[in-house]
Amino acid sequence: MMIKLRKMGGMRSAKCFAVAVADRMPQAPFSRGRGTRKRSQFRRHGVRADLYMGGRSRLRAVMRMTERETPAETTARWEPTVRKPGPETEALARFHPNGTWTGTVQADGMGPGSPEMEARGRADCEWIINGLWRSCRFEQDQFVAGEKVVTWKAHWIAGWDARTKEYRGMAVDSNGISMMFRGRLEGDRLIMESMEPAVSLRFIWDAADPRAIIWMNEIMTEDGSWRLIEEYVIRPQEPVRLSGPGV
């Protein structure tokens, strides 16, 4: 006797299979005589022969009892976390606008022996990765006695780290250097300090005047104090697109 059933999971399939087998079986007692079914015929369908000896009613009762003893299957659907920008993230916009700046690089600011330089720079900033991170491309021309001596380029990414509950930033530049920063807000100022133990840098953006944002870069000296190495005034503008994909 062949019984075709669709694939089903858990106790429900076992119950349906057993009841289907019971419904197909004849109502006859077990015996070794002629005209009766052998126990092997029931084993072939996965049903114990002694359960069938009481007929369909007993088999159904056993299956109902087994079903009550088995916990109901629960299916927990996994939902991914979709992070959205919060107020901490949105607060970064005022410190990292698109714009241009002018300022001064202090003597030794680019390394021991480097002269004082005038600087003119520009920033192209945008929100990336679902608006969670502020990405800025910086480009700055530096002059000694009116002559351009170097163009410095950098990429800066900053945002609110949901795991550490603080601001994090990363800078890579044309000097082949990368640095990680951690930061905080203090009133109208965003303060980012490097996490590099060898050289400690501090970037400060002061947006008290949104039309003239002060940007200062400092380095920690041997006595633990901070020394100014660069200071600029950023003038926010419409997006300033820098040249080429290699910027």
Domains of the chain: 10-69 (no CATH), 87-236 (2.40.128.20)
Q: What is the pLDDT of residues 11-29, one digit of tens each?
A: 444 444 444 444 555 554 5
Confidence of residue 64 (pLDDT cuts 50, 70, 90): low
Confidence of residue 74 (pLDDT cuts 50, 70, 90): low
Beta bridge partners of 128: 133
> What pLDDT, on a 0 to 100 scale, did the predictor assign at position 200?
92
> What pLDDT, on a 0 to 100 scale, did the predictor assign at position 75?
78
What average pLDDT score do residues 181-196 get? 96
Q: d(Cα 103, Cα 101) in Å, to the nearest integer? A: 7
Our measurement of the distance from residue 171's CA atom to the centroid of its chain's CA atoms, rounded to an integer in Å, reads 19
Other C-beta atoms lying within 10 Å of the C-beta of residue 142: 22
| Rg of the chain (C-alpha set) | 38
Q: With a cut of 70, say whether residue 5 has pLDDT above it.
A: no
Q: d(Cα 180, Cα 120) in Å, to the nearest integer? A: 25
> What pLDDT, on a 0 to 100 scale, did the predictor assign at position 207?
97
b/e map of 185-211 (b: 16 or more CB within 10 Å)? eeeeebbbbbeeeeeebbbbbbbeeee
Other C-beta atoms lying within 10 Å of the C-beta of residue 217: 17
And the tokens for 38? 């052998």
> What pLDDT, on a 0 to 100 scale, did the predictor assign at position 196?
83
Percentage of the chain beyond pLDDT 90 is 58
> What pLDDT, on a 0 to 100 scale, did the predictor assign at position 81?
86
Percentage of the chain beyond pLDDT 70 is 66
Farthest CA pair distance, the chain: 119
Fill in the DSSP letter of residue 243: S
Q: With a cut of 70, say whether residue 244 has pLDDT above it.
A: no
And the tokens for 42? 């029931």
pTM of this structure: 0.66
> What pLDDT, on a 0 to 100 scale, did the predictor assign at position 163?
94
- Residue 96: which residues within 8 A CB-CB, separation 6 or more? 123, 125, 134, 136, 156, 158, 205
Q: What is the pLDDT of residues 78-102, one digit of tens each?
A: 988 888 999 999 999 999 999 999 9
